[in-house]
Amino acid sequence: EPEVTQTPSHQVTQMGQEVILRCVPISNHLYFYWYRQILGQKVEFLVSFYNNEISEKSEIFDDQFSVERPDGSNFTLKIRSTKLEDSAMYFCASSEFEDSITTYEQYFGPGTRLTVT
């Protein structure tokens, strides 16, 4: 069964450093997403990406964040200058969009646990 994969599974970084989180969405999916979950809190939307551009972003997704699809398979989230409060689990997700039957089912990767010290 196809699945979303993410690397690394755990990233430890110092405050102020840049991190890049990587995702490989399901191959025939067209929409890609990043969510985050701070420990003990609910899952929060960050950004959605379609046709090589951001389609929607939350207020969390400020200028410190960026996304990119550098090739036909990877989807990345970059945090330019990490803060302590960026420590969270970051989930990548993807979904398929069909012309005749719209589906919003999103499938999540296993996550990258980001720890900022």
Partner 1 sequence: RKEVEQDPGPFNVPEGATVAFNCTYSNSASQSFFWYRQDCRKEPKLLMSVYSSGNEDGRFTAQLNRASQYISLLIRDSKLSDSATYLCVVNMEYGNKLVFGAGTILRVKS
From residue 45, give the alpha-carbon distance in Å to each of 26, 38, 85. Answer: 19, 12, 16
As measured in angstroms, the least distance from the Cβ of 67 to partner 1 is 13
Say which residues have a Cβ less than 8 Å from residue 84's Cβ, sequence separation at least 6.
Answer: 15, 116, 117
Say which residues have a Cβ less than 8 Å from residue 47's Cβ, sequence separation at least 6.
Answer: 33, 34, 54, 56, 57, 58, 61, 65, 67, 77
- Out of 19, 23, 26, 31, point to the residue binding partner 1 (CB under 8 A): 31
- Under the binding rule (CB under 8 A), the answer on residue 41 touching partner 1 is yes
- Under the binding rule (CB under 8 A), the answer on residue 33 touching partner 1 is yes
In degrees and rounded to multiples of 5, residue 8 shows phi and psi of -75, 175
Please, which residue, 14 or 53, has the CB nearer to partner 1?
A: 53
Please, which residue, 14 or 102, has the CB nearer to partner 1?
A: 102
As measured in angstroms, the least distance from the Cβ of 81 to partner 1 is 25
Residues that bind partner 1 (CB under 8 A): 31, 33, 35, 41-45, 48, 50, 55-56, 58, 89, 91, 93, 95, 104-111, 113
